[in-house]
Amino acid sequence: QVQLVESGGGLVQAGGSLRLSCAASGSIFTMAWYRQAPGKQRELVAAITTAGSTNYADSVKGRFTLSRDNAKNTVYLQMNSLKPEDTAAYYCYAQNLLGIPYWGQGTQVTVSS
């Protein structure tokens, strides 16, 4: 059983920055961050494989950077130039080599205008 521990959410003014971290307790292949705003569907923000291949939602390209420390089984989402529309609950996601998915408990990011 893999556990994901998230940290780094909070309140920030528009244009500010936050960094989210997610540490996994077991062997993981793909890791990602999703977000869900009130009344909206959960959406992929960014994902990264063990090899470091990344993909981003169009809405965050150029502003967010996802990185990974394989030795620590931890991913970091650096969020810059934050906008009010980035306000959401952010969830860490991981998938092991068998394709089994795991979710973190979520961390709130609120961007004030």
Backbone torsions φ then ψ of 9, nearest 5 degrees? -70, 175
pLDDT at residue number 66: 98
Whether 29 has a pLDDT exceeding 90, the answer reads no
Contacting residues for 3 by C-beta, under 8 A, at least 6 apart = 24, 25, 26, 102
Label residue 28 by pLDDT band (50, 70, 90): confident
> Distance between CA atoms of 49 and 30, rounded to whole angstroms?
4
Query: Per residue in 48-78, pLDDT tens?
Result: 998 999 999 999 999 999 999 989 999 999 9
pLDDT at residue number 47: 97
pLDDT at residue number 103: 96
Q: Given the structure tokens 């980035």, which residue do they identify?
A: 86
Q: Are 103 and 42 in contact (CB under 8 A)?
A: no
First-last CA distance in the chain: 40
Question: Can you read off the two tokens belonging to residue 32?
Answer: 């990602």
pLDDT at residue number 56: 98
Per-chain mean pLDDT for the chain: 95
Label residue 36 by pLDDT band (50, 70, 90): very high
